[in-house]
């Protein structure tokens, strides 16, 4: 874990891309859940 943190400290660009990817995945999951629950709400 310490090696991972030091790597993140050395490469802020990698950390930013990782953070962006995590946020993008969370957004995709939320959209997918909303898309799955929409038909139930409309009925």
Q: What is the pLDDT at residue 1?
A: 57
List of residues 6+ apart from 7 with CB closer than 8 A: 14
Q: Residue ranges of the alpha helices (H) in 1-43?
A: 2-10, 12-42
Closest CA to 20 of 31, 10, 30, 28: 28
pLDDT tens string for the chain (43 positions)? 577 777 666 777 777 888 888 888 999 999 999 888 888 776 5
pLDDT (0 to 100) of residue 29: 92
| pTM for the whole structure | 0.43
The answer to whether the beta carbons of residues 8 and 15 sit under 8 Å apart is yes
């Amino acid at each position: 874990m310490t090696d991972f943190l030091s790597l993140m400290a050395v490469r802020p660009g990698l950390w930013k891309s990782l953070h962006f990817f995590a946020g993008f995945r969370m957004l995709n999951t939320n959209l997918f859940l909303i898309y799955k629950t929409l038909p139930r709400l409309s009925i």
